[in-house]
Amino acid sequence: MSSSFSIVAAIILVTICVLGNSKAQLSSTFYTTTCPNVTSVVRGVVEQAQQNDIRIGAKLIQVHFHDCFVNGCDGSIMLDNADGIESEKDAVPNQSTDGYDQLLLKYWFLRMEAQRGKFNWEEETVGQPNQSGTTAIPSPFENLEKITKKFSDVGLDSTDLVALSGAHTFGRARCLTFVHRLYNFSGTGNPDPTIDTTYLETLRQICPNGGNGGTLADLDQSTRDEFDSNYFTNLQNKRGLLQTDQELFSTSGDTVAIVNRFANSQSDFFDSFGQSMINMGNIRPLTGSDGEIRSDCKRVN
What are the residue numbers of the active site?
A: 66
Q: Is residue 228 part of an annotated ligand binding site?
A: yes
Q: Is 29 annotated as a binding residue?
A: no
198: annotated binding-site residue? no
Residue 180 annotated as part of some ligand binding site:
no
Q: Is 67 known as a binding-site position? A: yes
169 belongs to an annotated ligand binding site:
yes
Is 285 assigned to a binding site? no
196 is in an annotated binding site: no
The string of DSSP codes covering the chain is --HHHHHHHHHHHHHHT-----SSS--TTTTTTT-TTHHHHHHHHHHHHHHH-TTHHHHHHHHHHHHHTTTSSSSGGGPPPBTTB--GGGSGGGTT---HHHHHHHHHHHHHHHHTTSS-----EE----SGGGGGS--TTS-HHHHHHHHHHTT--HHHHHHHHGGGGS-EEEGGGTGGGTS-GGGSSS--TTS-HHHHHHHHHHS-TTS-TT-EEES-SSSTT--SSHHHHHHHTT--SSHHHHHHHHS-STHHHHHHHHHH-HHHHHHHHHHHHHHHHTSS---TTSSEE-SBTTB--
Q: Binding site annotation covers 287?
A: no
* Annotated binding-site positions for Ca(2+): 67, 70, 72, 74, 76, 88, 169, 220, 223, 228
Per the annotation, binding residues for substrate are: 138
